[in-house]
């Protein structure tokens, strides 16, 4: 949902019912909107309401802040006086359909072109509610490797994101990649804007990736709260 700013009253109206939210989704030209709508409608009423509640600006800020927490962290977030459990995990897909309502996770993918010794890996940092990904940030780092699959040079970095929150809009800033201390490193930067009752909150989120020897790692950096997540 990246077609521009919506004021607080409009966002809260969209999130006031499943019917209004589905009308908003089905009228969007976002790739995958129909598939997402089918997923959402497969939820029971309680989980649909939780999904909508999680996207309310005051609640969603809490979920963004959880993205810097260490894997294994569990706790609750407070949505209008209701304590909702969350879990931070290494592999988001392993927890998607668990009984934990909110999952903050990472998925990993690696690909090697043997003929040219070109390797790339991607990491996707996700916020999932009721088993459905609500928002994600993905970085993909491309680099050349030697016969031991250790990096020798970087070639490219790409970024992408997913967002089903009408109160959140995400713009790309820039990407960067280089070799540093014999590691392939790179990052993609986003400008993240969130509607709030006091007006728009605008912050930077950066997905950072590195190949340290033969180990792939990633972390998030966010100017909202000025936190930097641990390499994982």
Q: What are the CB-based long-range contacts (under 8 Å, 24+) for 215-220?
A: 216/108, 216/110, 216/121, 216/123, 218/106, 218/123, 218/125, 218/139, 220/67, 220/68, 220/125, 220/137
Per-residue pLDDT tens for 14-23? 999 999 999 9
Q: For residue 100, tell me if it sits in a domain.
A: yes
| Number of domains the chain contains | 1
Distances (CA, A) of 12 to 8, 124, 166, 167, 196: 6, 28, 9, 8, 10
Q: Is residue 40 part of a domain?
A: yes
Q: Across residues 197-224, what is the average pLDDT? A: 85
In a domain, 3, yes or no: no
Task: Evaluate whether residue 167 is within a structural domain.
Answer: yes
pLDDT, residue 141, reads 95
Instruction: Assess if residue 62 is contained within a domain.
Output: yes
Cα distances (Å, whole numbers) of residue 154 to 119, 138, 148, 187, 217: 10, 18, 16, 12, 15
- pTM, two decimals, is 0.88
Among 201, 202, 223, 167, which Cα is nearest to 3's? 167
Decide if 109 is inside a domain. yes
Q: Can you give the pLDDT at residue 96?
A: 47
The pLDDT assigned to 40 comes to 97
Contact status, residue 43 vs residue 130, Cβ threshold 8 Å: yes
Residue-wise pLDDT for 47-88, tens only, equals 999 999 999 999 998 898 888 787 788 899 999 899 999 988
Give the domain range for residue 62: 8-228
Whether the CB-CB separation of 25 and 41 falls below 8 Å is answered with no
Residue 129, token pair as written in the block: 């509610």
């Amino acid at each position: 949902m990246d077609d521009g700013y919506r004021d607080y009253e409009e966002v809260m109206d969209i999130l006031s019912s499943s019917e209004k939210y589905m009308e908003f989704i089905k009228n969007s030209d976002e790739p995958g909107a129909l598939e997402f709508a089918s997923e959402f409608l497969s939820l029971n009423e309680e989980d649909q309401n939780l999904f909508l509640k999680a996207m309310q600006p005051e609640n969603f800020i809490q979920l963004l802040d959880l993205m810097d927490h260490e894997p294994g962290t569990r706790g609750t977030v407070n949505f209008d006086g209701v304590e909702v459990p969350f879990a931070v995990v290494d592999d988001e897909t392993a927890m998607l359909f668990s009984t934990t309502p909110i999952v903050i996770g990472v998925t990993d993918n690696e690909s090697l072109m043997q003929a040219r010794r070109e390797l790339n890996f991607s990491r996707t940092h996700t916020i999932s509610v009721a088993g459905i990904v609500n928002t994600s940030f993905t970085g993909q780092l491309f680099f050349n490797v030697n016969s031991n699959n250790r990096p020798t040079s970087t070639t490219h970095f790409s970024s992408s994101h997913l967002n089903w929150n009408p109160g959140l809009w995400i713009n790309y800033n820039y990407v960067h990649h280089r070799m540093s201390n014999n590691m392939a490193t790179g990052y993609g930067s986003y400008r993240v804007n969130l509607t709030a009752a006091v007006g728009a909150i605008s912050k930077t989120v950066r997905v950072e990736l590195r190949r340290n020897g033969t180990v792939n790692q990633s972390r998030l950096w966010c100017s909202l709260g000025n936190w930097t997540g641990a390499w994982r």
